[in-house]
Amino acid sequence: MQFGVVIVALVMICSLLGSLIPQDRPAEWYLEAYPRAGKAFLALGIDNLFYTAWFVVLLALLCVNLASCLAIRLKSIIKPVNAILRAAGNSSGGRSIGAEAAEGLGKFLAGRRFRQYKTENAVVFYKNMPGRFGSFIVHISFLLILLCGGGVTWLSVVSDHNVMPGEGLIMGDGTTLDLESFRIEDETGRTDYASVVHAASPDGKKSVTSEISVNYPLSFRSYKFYQHTFGVAGSVTYESAGTGESDVVYLTEPDIRISVDNHNSIRYMALYPGFVEDEDGNIIPIMVRGNVYPNPIYYLIVTNDRVMSNRMVQPGEAVEIDDVTFTFNDPVHFPGIRVKRIPFGLPALLYGSFVLMILGFYLSFFHVPLIVTVRVDSYLLSGYKSSEEQFRIDAFLDEFEKRETVERC
């Protein structure tokens, strides 16, 4: 019992740490956010706590402990009710009462919806016998919650995707997720990364539009969609006068090459949030703190007629190569969406386990088994004792004795 309490306490402490400390961030983030403890967090795996070997061992020990407790309790609950009642009828001791008081107590208990079981020496009154399964149900539901929760955590397939506004994702089973909008600040100017997404089933019969943000994912069918990261991408519109083709290309990482043909291309190198000009009119890129790009500028390497040149281009400016025009647009903020596909049936089992636990607590606290053995000269409240029921019986007997005394007088 003490070992189980210690394990539960350790699991609760670890779970609290995993909830308070952001998970699955880059190592540099922990070193910056926690200057004193960052190295220790990384060494212990607290940056990804729920997947560490030592946390899995703790959960395994807890499961073993719960299984042993279930085995012990199983011996008592599989005992037939009749055997329990016969044992109560053969018990001895209790409060001494007279024959008339015993008869009156029997009527009192029957009025309180106690059922009767007669033995050779006594009448056993009982009720709420299903309540003896309460503790067993709580333990087995706790074990199921651990197993199903572990299955959801470790058996789910997780993938990360950068999604541009107006674009979407198509899952393997045909489920779609479209990004309608993304913001990095709320109405008050406070940093708040949130995406408005629209999810739809393969046949389109079931769909939902919802806002997702940090710690507030969208659950849809067997998927969970998380607001995981964010980024800033450059944007360029490609237009070909010869073919009439037009498209928008997002530049999500440096060193992206957009080819016109084998000899001509634009190579995107970087996007800077601002710049200044020196006395000679040369552009000098600068960095700005935060996620804003007040005066953005693109750094490109342009190859035209096999001649390479470095270019600094502002949004709205265009670069022409042959009959192709590249118009550079304002930077675009985009979210990183984490998609978790949960094995079929596990969420239902997990929620069912919680319902089972509620049933177990109800039986344990509000359906307490009561067994009262009434003989011609005594009574005994045995089994799962209830101080409230003991008080009621004693109060009835005290009142019964007072009435008898008054009648004799």
Task: Give the model's pLDDT for residue 290.
Answer: 67
Does any domain span residue 135?
Answer: no
Whether residue 40 sits in one domain with residue 87: no
Task: Give the model's pLDDT for residue 383.
Answer: 63
- For Cα atoms 229, 233, 235, give the angle at the middle one, nearest 5 degrees: 150
Q: Which residues pair with 334 in a beta bridge?
A: 231
Does any domain span residue 260?
Answer: yes
Does any domain span residue 91?
Answer: yes
Whether residue 61 sits in one domain with residue 83: no
Please give the residue range of the domain that contains residue 195.
Answer: 157-231+337-344
Whether residue 59 sits in one domain with residue 99: no
Whether residue 172 sits in one domain with residue 102: no
Whether residue 252 sits in one domain with residue 176: no
Domain final position from 75, 98, 120: 75
Whether residue 329 sits in one domain with residue 246: yes
Task: Give the model's pLDDT for residue 267.
Answer: 93
Taking only the tens place, the pLDDT of each residue in 351-409 is 999 999 999 999 988 888 899 999 988 899 876 656 778 888 888 888 887 887 776 66
Given a cut of 70, the residues of the chain with pLDDT beneath it are: 1, 290, 383-386, 407-409
Q: How many CB atoms lie within 10 A of CB 241?
A: 11
Name the DSSP letter for residue 323.
T
CA of 373: how far to CAs of 77, 83, 85, in Å? Answer: 20, 14, 9
* Structural domains counted in the chain: 4
Q: How many CB atoms lie within 10 A of CB 204?
A: 9
Domain final position from 281, 308, 333: 333
Give me the amino acid identity at 388: E
Taking only the tens place, the pLDDT of each residue in 300-320 is 999 988 889 999 999 999 999
Taking only the tens place, the pLDDT of each residue in 348-363 is 899 999 999 999 999 9
Taking only the tens place, the pLDDT of each residue in 16-52 is 988 888 887 778 888 888 888 889 989 989 888 888 9
Task: Give the model's pLDDT for residue 154.
Answer: 85
Task: Give the model's pLDDT for residue 226.
Answer: 93
Q: Is 341 helix (H, G, I), strand (E, B) or coil?
A: strand
Whether residue 86 sits in one domain with residue 64: no
Measured torsion, CA atoms of residues 93, 95, 101, 104, in degrees rounded to the nearest 10: -80
Whether residue 185 sits in one domain with residue 172: yes
pTM as predicted: 0.65
Task: Give the model's pLDDT for residue 409.
Answer: 62
Task: Give the model's pLDDT for residue 407.
Answer: 67
Does any domain span residue 252?
Answer: yes
Whether residue 260 sits in one domain with residue 173: no
Domain final position from 75, 102, 117: 75
